[in-house]
Amino acid sequence: MKHRSLPRRIAAASAAAVVASSTVATGLLGLGVSPAVAGGAASPTTTPIKHLVVIFGENVSFDHYFATYPKAANIAGEKLQGTSIAAPRFTAARTTPTTIATLAHARLLAPNNPNSVQPARLAPSQAVTCDQDHEYTAEQKAYNGGLMNRFVQNTSRDACGTNQFGRPGLTMDYYDGNTVTGLWNYAQHYAMSDNHFGTTFGPSTPGALNLVSGQTHGVREFTATGKRVVPTASDYTVRQPDATGTGTMINDPDPVYDDCSNSSHKSTNNLAAMTGRNIGDLLNARGVSWGWFQGGFAPTTAARGTTPAACLASHTNAAGASVVDYSPHHEPFQYYASTANPHHLAPATAAEIGHNGRANHQYDLSVFTRVVDTGQLPAVSFLKAAAYQDGHAAYSDPVDEQHFITKTINTVQRSKNWKDTAVVVAYDDSDGWYDHVAAAVKNASNTTDDAAWCRQAATRGTPIAGGYQDRCGPGPRLPLIVVSRFAKQNAVDHTQTDQSSILRFIEDNWITGRVGNASADARAGTIAGMFDFAHPRQEQVLLNEQNGTVSAVIR
């Protein structure tokens, strides 16, 4: 069973019966810390950041969006796909750093690339492309031990559906500032990293789990009717199971604690649940408000009795295709009983948003819009766009994604909370798109799922954290941008980080402690180098929500 290229929807009725609520730990008073209350004072932090908003996109390698940054082709007459809008020109500031680990800086553009097909620029009219192979093993094989020269053979998918661009060796291709103009402008005015990686190799769900727990081990399997399965050998849902059937997740099974799992194709595939703790549990224990907000989470049909809710809202992407908004395997908190909202219940009151209640911190994206300019904005907010705007190749694209990112950040900047907010733009995996930089293995694995070079790292002494296999990493290099008054301006941070570095920032800023149990948070690099807390800036840089150009600088 391969990774999913389309969202999935309707789940087991028995999963609908699971309603879990998290409790706030009582040990805080002994630490001299008072828990935050609904609508009340902000929780103590170690930095001036009182609100963190994480926009978590889909399936982009660093070189796929920044291969030639900060130089764009600026070809006359190009238009953004699906519109009559002229593609914008992009000219970088003269103060832009010159030592950025791009494909152009490494002199690996055509004709110098070691892969069997040379990289090529994708035009703004080619925004919707084929989905690439981004499985755990395929991505490792593409790396070829760090030579980075086997992408065409292992991850390229060159032909696909109607109105999706493809060509031989598509995996090598990249966009520039005429298409991903908004992200290039955020990099110009705020801070970006050129040394940020997936915590492990593999597709969306492992990346989402690494963001919220730093842990892909601990998965258990359930049938579509909610019955526990104890596999005796590795399968799609559980890899390397122990005697209890608990193992590691390297694929995209849907969450068992979600009515809307298994629905886009009316599937009956086995479902997954995670054991252990996540950042939601840690924030609850500290009394810190938080929430995951996802497009399409509000059900189109409410759960009734043993009939699960359905999540079938849809939108049309730049290629004119209809795409179901909600993708269950992109919602990491639905894998944990402690943080799931199986029936997709809305918060009972506005005061519940960010706090314990029937929604259990899991919300529709529209709920974030309701609170962003109020005192109810949670301290930590994770945002996932509706599928057509999440950036995932095949059913989304950088043009639709740009509309979401720019509109969201503009809304945050115009809000009363901008003064102490940081927005982090990050991604769950690379989609298998080519990138020329490989990080040295920090966490090894030695199974048949791993390429020879990762197995060799294990035999040469690189640790297998916790003894948990199939977590080889860091994985592919991914974009990372911080937008905030406290972000450095037109700066590129070279500190090695990964998805769990964002988790670690939350833990450190809100003093939650670590997840534990060999979570990647304990070894993650810091994103602190992207901030300058001593010199906050006063201006707001607002972008055009259609083409990503700078529309206003408000001081």
Q: What's the pLDDT tens digit per position in 470-501?
A: 999 999 999 999 999 999 999 999 999 999 99
Question: What span, in angstroms and rounded, lies between the C-alpha atoms of 487 and 172?
Answer: 31
Beta bridge partners of 272: 221, 255
**Residue at token pair 């008054």:** 485
Residue 8 in this model has a pLDDT that exceeds 60:
no
DSSP letter (8 states) at residue 98: S
What is the per-residue pLDDT for 28?
A: 26
Which residues have C-beta within 8 Å of that of residue 336, sequence separation ≥ 6?
20, 257, 273, 274, 276, 278, 280, 281
How high is the pLDDT of residue 162?
85
| pLDDT value at residue 264 | 60
pLDDT of the residue at 266: 67
Q: Could you tell me the pLDDT band of residue 263, with boundaries at 50, 70 and 90? A: confident
| Token digits of residue 160 | 């696909």
Amino acid identity of 324? V
The answer to whether the beta carbons of residues 219 and 249 sit under 8 Å apart is yes
Topology of domain 13-61+177-429+464-554 in CATH is Alkaline Phosphatase, subunit A (3.40.720)
Burial annotation 46-74 (CB, 10 A radius, 16+ → b, else e): ebbbbbbbbbbbbbbbbbbbbbbbbebee
Closest CA to 212 of 286, 292, 278: 278
The answer to whether residue 11 scores a pLDDT higher than 90 is no
Exposed, middle or buried, 343 (CB in 10 Å: 0-12/13-18/19+)? Answer: buried
Q: What is the mean pLDDT of the chain?
A: 92
Which of 1, 172, 197 is closest to 103 using CA atoms?
Answer: 172
In the predicted structure, residue 56 carries a pLDDT above the cut 50: yes
Alpha-carbon distance 67 to 297, whole Å?
A: 34
What are the distances in angstroms from CA 295 to CA 10, 332, 382, 497? 16, 14, 11, 27
pLDDT digits over 158-199, tens only?
A: 999 888 999 999 999 999 999 999 999 999 999 999 999 999
The string of pLDDT tens digits covering residues 115-169 is 999 999 999 999 999 999 999 999 999 999 999 999 999 999 999 988 899 999 9
HSE (side-chain half, CA atoms, 13 Å) at 111: 0
Nearest to 411 by CA among 372, 365, 371: 372
* Displacement of CA 281 from its chain's centroid (Å): 19
Query: Residue 309 CB: number of other CB atoms within 10 A?
Result: 24
d(CA 333, CA 343): 13
Q: What confidence tier does 268 reach under pLDDT thresholds 50, 70, 90?
A: confident
Output the pLDDT for position 447: 98
Share of the chain above pLDDT 90, in %: 89
Q: How many CB atoms lie within 10 A of CB 95?
A: 9
Residue with token string 């068992």: 256
Measured CA to CA, the distance from residue 328 to residue 265 in angstroms comes to: 13
pTM for the model stands at: 0.93
What are the tokens at 535? 């010199």
Closest CA to 536 of 44, 50, 42, 41: 50
551: three-class secondary structure by DSSP: strand
End-to-end CA gap in the chain = 53
C-alpha–C-alpha distance, residues 84 and 64, integer Å = 24
Task: Tell me which residue has tokens 């955020």.
Answer: 186
pLDDT at 87 over 60: yes
pLDDT in the model for residue 9: 32
Per the CB < 8 A criterion, the answer to whether 289 and 354 are in contact is: yes
Is the pLDDT at 40 greater than 90? The verdict is no
Are the beta carbons of 164 and 157 closer than 8 angstroms? no
Give 414-425 pLDDT, tens digit per residue. 999 999 999 999
pLDDT band at 3 (very low <50, low <70, confident <90, very high): very low
